[in-house]
Amino acid sequence: MTKFIKKFSEITKDDVATVGYKNALLAEMYNHLTPKGILIPAGFAINAEAFEYFINSNKLRSQINYLMKSLEPDFSNLAETGADIRELIMEAHMPNDMGMAIVDAYENLTDLKGTPIAVRSSGNDDTISLNDSQGFHDSYLNVQGHCSLLYSTRQCFASLFSDKAIRYREENGMLQHEAFNSIVVQKMIRSDKACSGIGYTSYRSAAINDTIRITGILGMAGGQAQEKGIADEFLVFKPSVKTKELALIEKRLGTKANMLVYADDDDESNLTLCKTTTDSQRSDFVINDAEIEKLAGWAIIIEDYFNEPMSFEWAKDGENKQLYILNARKLI
């Protein structure tokens, strides 16, 4: 498309240096696993060149480096340092040519202005475990319109310097100036009207080997999808999926007290809101056995393709009732 934008169809798993891990793996699946029956929403990447162009156009690099040099070895001023860097980025100007490229790609993706999209950070570090990734870099759901997209883009750029991300890089001897945030822009799945969750193609904590673990919550996915007791949990014996004779080792009902949904259209300050679930919603499993079997089958396809254990995010659309894969990463 342009030097700032890459469609999923233009990306492979080898493009981490230009689009980050999330984009690279997601596009790889979009291009090669969609023909195998896995549904993945279309999207595009705002690439690393866009991030660097934004930083350099606003002459932010020297200011960021200056603030990083002031960081105390004991991290006593981490909150202040991180906040100052993020403020620099949020107050910076979006270059016109870059902004137009993002808007054009958005309109080509959705065909209609205002169609909800997800805007997610895609960094270039794959050493962060799934459990540690919460709070690292920002993601935004139910983003609608040009202004919201461009604002969410700046927010994702700024989240490269979240307190947690800064500290992680410092403690692991990583150079702050070598980190970047690419961005995933993807059509929204209406899981706010259904459910979502996380899957693990190989669950190491299970008492039985060859186990697939799937968790699910009501509404859109969040950190709670990983928390024990909150999400519904399904453990599947992997060989049974391959023989088309589903063997569920365990089904555990979670509390599912809350769910993340779209905010009201007239709420301009929030994109999403958390609401309390009903007794009937909490008493039912979020997906049925046929859907568990489909997700387990997809788990095997994903693991076989990448030739290593993976985790993946899934969602069910409450309007068309279809399941989708939203993301994947290697298990660390």
Give residue 184's pLDDT: 96
Distance CA 70, CA 232 (A): 45
What is the dihedral sign for C-alpha 93, 95, 96, 102? negative
CA–CA distance, 156 with 135 (Å, rounded to integer): 12
Residue 26 clears pLDDT 60, i.e. is over it = yes
Calculate what percentage of the chain has a pLDDT beyond 70.
91
- Residue 319: is its pLDDT beyond 90? yes
Please give the distance of CA 174 from its chain centroid, rounded to a whole number.
Answer: 23
Full 3-state SS string of 195-231: EEEEEECCCCCCCCCCEEEEEEEEECCCHHHHCCCCC
Given a contact cutoff of 8 angstroms between Cβ atoms, the answer to whether 155 and 148 are in contact is no
Tell me the Ramachandran region of residue 259: left when phi exceeds 0, alpha when psi lies from -120 to 50, beta otherwise: beta
Q: Is the pLDDT at 229 greater than 80, yes or no?
A: no
Given pLDDT bands bounded at 50, 70 and 90, which one contains residue 96?
very high
- Between 227 and 322, where is the model more confident? 322
Tell me the mean pLDDT in the region 289-298.
Answer: 97
- Tokens representing 187 are 């059509």
179 pLDDT higher than 90: no
Tell me the three state secondary structure of residue 249.
strand
pLDDT 10s digits, 50-83:
999 999 999 999 999 999 999 999 999 999 999 9
Tokens at 211, concatenated:
């186990």
What pLDDT was estimated at residue 191? Answer: 95
pLDDT > 70? residue 2: yes
Q: Assess contact for 178 and 55: CB atoms under 8 A.
A: no
Q: What is the pLDDT of residue 227?
A: 59
What average pLDDT does the structure give for the chain?
90
Note the pLDDT of residue 114.
64
Buried b / exposed e across 285-315, counting CB within 10 Å, b at 16+?
Answer: bbbeeebbbbbbbbbbbbbebbeebbbbbbb
> What angle is formed at CA 137 by the lines to CA 11 and CA 315, rounded to 5 degrees?
65
Helix residue ranges, H only, the chain = 16-32, 48-57, 61-69, 78-91, 96-110, 146-158, 163-171, 238-242, 279-283, 289-306
At 232-287, the pLDDT tens digits run: 999 999 999 988 888 999 999 999 999 999 887 766 667 888 899 999 999 999 99
Flag whether pLDDT at 131 surpasses 60: no
Whether pLDDT at 202 is above 80: yes
pLDDT of residue 204: 77
Is the model's pTM score more than 0.85?
yes
Residues 146, 267, 193, 247, Cα dihedral to 10°: 80
> Is 332 a residue whose pLDDT tops 80?
no
Q: How far apart are CA 130 and CA 122, in angstroms?
A: 14
Domains detected in the chain = 5-187 (3.30.1490.20), 191-330 (3.30.470.20)
What integer is the mean pLDDT of 107-128? 79
Q: Which residues contact 309 (CB under 8 A, 6 or more apart)?
A: 200, 201, 202, 204, 303, 330, 331
